[in-house]
């Protein structure tokens, strides 16, 4: 039996980027806000100390910042006819845990999605009509660029994104991304300096007629104080960035940008090591009444709240909705139901180059330092007759070649022994790779549901992922690899090797933590779970925020859009919902 606590105005589930932003905005509006976070309290000075943070065994191998699989994991399978098995070690993706969420150990590449993305189904149908494959279940988002742009700007200011604008109010700017949507203002900080490999790539692609630009980065190029009065320092290119916390206050995350301001608010309370098990509903099923959570000792509490915000990352957002009976569970056989629908991933492509005459000093780097091009991304090129839609963001971002993880050797080299050691020594300094983070388009049979067999320590079903790369995305991957290979050849290496998406999805090797969908936004309740304000259809006082709202995944990283959606939802709550609480916001 859960112990009932005094009611609050707002309870927020999860204190990553989305939960921290919404908590701050609602507390600033005067509401009493309680943030419940499953993991521990994390703080740069204590947890990411310079003396202990560059520990590859602890953070990369033993995954210390990630959710413990024994606390919660998911089961995986490729198709509805298979039996799913649990992930006992994180592989394909790296879910976060604790204040700051995955934003503590993310890489920091911070794109905005393009204007066409928000009406992707309409756009592609208008352009390619009957050529679109029936296997795809692409959807419009129910919002548009004009509505999203101000909130992208707010997120970029909060995080101090470093980059070069490519399009300000319709005027193209040399050196920026010519394919980006019109921005209202430049990035708040200039681009970071660039190591040798991205510069070599940029020179090559410029000669090939493409337009390289610096990757928009949440790793700060200079000292910066954000609009909440929180100050960050410039990145030192330390090379222990992706999968690590930043000891330098240089990587924007909820704990380096929002939490210091949020914790000063007397009407905000953070409760860490508190895992929310369920959103409670009234008898009508049309109003959330609060949440049930377990603290570190396992004691159960009921936290009543007038407004419930779930910002627990894609997987747990969807799982909590399924466990709480919110919406109808998606059924791939009939296409009915929306909770779990349109789960999508990201299609990873890369080409590795080995040189004889170069020294890239690959230990210098960071998760979001690099140069890219967008000529092969999304619908930036004509897909007529190609047999697929979508594409990828092509870039060279040396994240830092740490000694255990980074031992690239050409295929065919023995995996151990003196020949492997000799090849490691020969190639470590003189190899680089070109990556292409590409779209993943939704299909009828890729979805999220509750596993019928496996349960967590509280006895609740684990989330089950049913996913495989559709034929559309495999063709797109082959196209991207052919383009990357042309660039690689022009860079004149001794040898190079491409790695595209040819077979089934394999959950073991890391690919990307950009899992999206399952509780998607849209203009109609029949085909989406939340409206354009992230408000659950039919449950007006429940908002579910995060990449779970994406109807499909473009060839970009998600977090700029997650941050923008968090601001968009908070703005709608403060300026519209609170004037008529308990009502669905009109569109």
Positions in the binding site for ligand SF4 (CB under 6 A) = 219, 235-238, 240-241, 244, 246, 248, 250-251, 366-367
**Range 505-524, binding ligand FAD (CB under 6 A):** 513-514
Contact 46, 284 (CB under 8 A): no
Q: In angstroms, give the least distance from the CB of 154 to ligand SF4.
A: 22
Residues contacting 63, CB < 8 A, separation 6+: 89, 90, 94, 243
Closest C-alpha to 564, from 512, 521, 524: 521
Q: Which of 105, 123, 383, 514 is catalytic?
A: 514
Q: Terminal CA-to-CA distance of the chain, rounded, Å? A: 40
What is the smallest separation between the CB atom of 245 and ligand SF4, expressed in angstroms? 7
DSSP class of residue 522 equals -
Euclidean distance between CA atoms 443 and 446, whole angstroms: 6
Q: Where are the alpha helices (DSSP H) in 59-211?
A: 120-128, 145-159, 196-207
342: left (phi over 0), alpha (psi -120 to 50) or beta: left
Nearer to ligand SF4, 16 or 365 (CB): 365
Q: Which residue is nearest to ligand SF4 (CB)?
A: 366
Interface of this chain with ligand FAD, residues 316 to 345, rule: CB under 6 A: 316
| Interface positions, 228-287, toward ligand FAD (CB under 6 A) | 242-243, 275-276
Per residue, the 3-state secondary structure of 380-448, as one string, reads: CCCCCCCCCCCCEEEEECCCCCCCCCCCCCCCCCCCCHHHHHHHHHHHHHHEEEEEEEECECCECCCEE
The site partner of 103 among ligand SF4, ligand FAD, none (C-beta below 5 to 8 Å per kind) is: ligand FAD
Tell me if residue 514 is catalytic: yes
Q: Which of residues 396-435 bind ligand FAD (CB under 6 A)?
A: none
Min CB(270)–ligand FAD separation in Å: 11
Site for ligand FAD in 540-579 (CB under 6 A): 546-547, 557-559, 562
Cβ distance to ligand FAD smaller for residue 124 or 515: 515
Nearer to ligand FAD, 276 or 409 (CB): 276
- CB nearer to ligand SF4: pick between 191 and 367: 367
- Helix (H/G/I), strand (E/B), else coil: 553: strand
Taking CB under 6 A as the criterion, the residue among 34, 220, 368, 534 binding ligand FAD is 368
3-state secondary structure 247-297: CCCCECCHHHHCHHHHCCCCCEEEECCCEEEEEEECCCCCCEEEEEEECCC
**How far apart are CB 65 and ligand FAD at their closest, in Å?**
9
Site string for ligand FAD, 10-39 (x = CB under 6 A): ---xxxxxxx----------------xxxx
Q: Which residues bind ligand FAD (CB under 6 A)?
A: 13-19, 36-39, 94, 96-98, 101-103, 105-110, 242-243, 275-276, 311-313, 316, 367-368, 513-514, 546-547, 557-559, 562
**Looking at the annotation, which residues are catalytic?**
514
């Amino acid at each position: 039996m859960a112990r009932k606590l005094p009611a609050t105005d707002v309870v927020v589930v999860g204190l990553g980027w989305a939960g921290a932003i919404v908590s701050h905005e609602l507390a600033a509006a005067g509401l009493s806000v309680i943030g419940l976070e499953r993991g521990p309290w994390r703080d740069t000075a204590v947890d990411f100390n310079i003396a202990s943070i560059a520990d590859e065994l602890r953070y990369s191998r033993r995954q210390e910042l990630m959710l413990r699989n024994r606390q919660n994991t998911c089961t995986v399978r490729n198709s509805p006819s298979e039996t799913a098995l649990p992930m006992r070690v994180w592989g394909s993706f790296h879910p976060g845990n604790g204040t700051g969420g995955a934003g503590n150990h993310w890489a920091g590449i911070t794109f905005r999605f393009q204007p066409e993305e928000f009406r992707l189904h309409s756009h592609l149908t208008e352009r390619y009509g009957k050529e679109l494959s029936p296997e795809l279940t692409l959807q419009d988002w129910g919002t548009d660029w004009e509505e999203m742009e101000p909130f992208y700007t707010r997120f970029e200011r909060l995080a101090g994104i470093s980059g070069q604008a490519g399009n300000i109010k319709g005027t193209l700017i040399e050196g920026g991304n010519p394919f980006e949507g019109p921005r209202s203002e430049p990035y708040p900080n200039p681009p970071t300096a660039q190591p040798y490999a991205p510069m070599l790539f940029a020179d090559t692609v410029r000669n090939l007629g493409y337009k390289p630009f610096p990757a928009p980065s949440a790793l700060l190029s200079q000292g910066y104080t954000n609009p909440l009065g929180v100050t960050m320092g410039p990145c030192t290119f330390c090379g222990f960035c992706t999968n690590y916390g930043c000891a330098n206050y240089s990587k924007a995350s909820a704990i380096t940008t929002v939490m210091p301001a949020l914790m000063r608010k007397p009407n905000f309370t953070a409760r860490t090591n508190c895992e929310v098990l369920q959103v409670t509903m009234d008898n009508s099923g049309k109003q959330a009444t609060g949440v049930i959570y377990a603290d570190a000792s396992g004691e159960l509490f009921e936290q009543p709240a007038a407004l419930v915000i779930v910002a627990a990352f894609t997987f747990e957002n969807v799982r909590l909705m399924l466990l709480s009976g919110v919406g109808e569970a998606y059924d791939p056989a009939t296409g009915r139901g929306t909770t779990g629908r349109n789960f999508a991933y990201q299609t990873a492509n890369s080409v590795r180059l080995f040189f004889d005459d170069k020294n890239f000093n690959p230990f210098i780097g960071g998760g979001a330092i690099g140069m890219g091009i967008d000529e092969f991304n999304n619908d930036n090129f004509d897909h007529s007759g190609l047999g697929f839609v979508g594409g990828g963001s092509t870039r060279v971002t040396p994240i830092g070649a740490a000694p255990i993880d980074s031992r690239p050797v050409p295929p065919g080299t023995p995996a151990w022994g003196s020949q492997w050691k000799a090849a490691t020594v020969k190639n470590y300094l003189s190899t680089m790779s070109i990556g292409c983070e590409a779209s993943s388009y939704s299909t009828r049979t890729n979805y999220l549901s509750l596993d019928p067999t496996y349960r967590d320590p509280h006895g609740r079903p684990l989330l089950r992922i049913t996913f495989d790369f559709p034929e559309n995305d495999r063709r797109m991957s082959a196209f991207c690899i052919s383009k990357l290979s042309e660039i690689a050849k022009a860079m004149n290496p001794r040898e190079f090797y491409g790695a595209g998406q040819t077979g089934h999805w394999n959950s073991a090797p890391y690919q990307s933590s950009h899992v999206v969908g399952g509780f998607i936004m849209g203009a109609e309740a029949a085909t989406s779970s939340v409206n354009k304000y992230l408000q659950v259809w039919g449950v007006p006082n429940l908002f579910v925020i995060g990449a779970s709202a994406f109807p499909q995944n473009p060839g970009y990283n998600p977090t700029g859009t997650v941050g923008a959606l968090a601001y968009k939802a908070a703005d709608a709550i403060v300026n519209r919902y609170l004037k008529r609480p308990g009502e669905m916001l009109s569109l």
